[in-house]
Amino acid sequence: MAIYKFEMARTKRTLVQSIVAPVITTSLYFIVFGAAIGSRIDQVSGISYGAFIVPGLIMLNLLTHSISNASFGIYFPKFVGTVYEMLSAPVSTLEVVLGYVGAAASKAVILGIIILITASFFIDLQIAHPILMMVFILLTAISFSLFGFILGIWADNFEKLSIVPMLLVTPLVFLGGSFYSTDMLPEPWQTISHFNPVLYLVSGLRWSFYEISEVNVMLSLASILIFMFACLGVVYYLFKTGYKLRS
């Protein structure tokens, strides 16, 4: 609980970076893609372009912020050496993971909701399945916070910390149908897109909004659950072996 509170308190110190910046970025997306470019695009899959990109925007922010929050949360104590305190404290592996991952996921979920509220100022927002939407948001935030946590343990310099989000996650999100339907792509890119795991997340979340999807919603749910359990397995292994934490 102390780790969770400490990590959440860190958000207060970096309020502009954590909350205000994503809100401004989201607004810019709506102005550029929704109003400027979107006004030239007809409806996509039967809905306005501005509304179409909302799930993609939420997913983009959930993924990038879950990863960066969790990876930075565990990497920084390693970098400055304060991790000794966590390692010598009477806390179990589960509690450490709950603290760091829980805080990172909480912040990402709060951010997702803020983006949702921001979006409602630009478009007429309709959510067909709000509970399923929250399930997707929660599972994505937890899974990618776990992934970020693994990244933070693995990284031994700032370059490694940023290389995965920059060179892997962001391209996957942009190529995962966040801002377009893969139906708009020519072959073979349409088929190749189905190998992009982020497509399943965006598609699942979009279905919870508008009941339109590019892959079966149950397949999307299964994908994120498999990814979450895989990350949990890796985290368990890291702590069991003490990888880059306990020599």
Site residues (CB under 8 A) for another protein?
A: 1-3, 5-6, 9, 13, 80-82, 84-92, 242, 246-247
| CA distance linking residue 40 with residue 99, whole number of Å | 46
In order, the DSSP letters of 137-189 are: HHHHHHHHHHHHHHHHHH-SSHHHHHHHIIIIIHHHHHTTTSSS-GGGSPTTH
| CA distance linking residue 11 with residue 84, whole number of Å | 22
Least gap, CB of 240 to another protein (angstroms) = 11
- Closer by beta carbon to another protein, 1 or else 128: 1
3-state secondary structure of 56: helix
- Closer by beta carbon to another protein, 86 or else 105: 86
Strand partners, 47: 44
Least gap, CB of 246 to another protein (angstroms) = 5
- Closer by beta carbon to another protein, 70 or else 96: 96
Least gap, CB of 25 to another protein (angstroms) = 24
Least gap, CB of 161 to another protein (angstroms) = 18
Give burial (CB, 10 Å; 0-12/13-18/19+) of 149: buried
- Closer by beta carbon to another protein, 91 or else 185: 91
- Closer by beta carbon to another protein, 85 or else 124: 85
Least gap, CB of 92 to another protein (angstroms) = 8
Least gap, CB of 6 to another protein (angstroms) = 5
CB 36 within 8 Å of CB 118: no
CB 73 within 8 Å of CB 103: yes
| CA distance linking residue 116 with residue 36, whole number of Å | 20
- Closer by beta carbon to another protein, 3 or else 111: 3
HEC profile of 58-119: HHHHHHHHHHHHHHHHHHHHHHHCCHHHHHCCCCCHHHHHHHHHHHHHHHHHHHHHHHHHHH
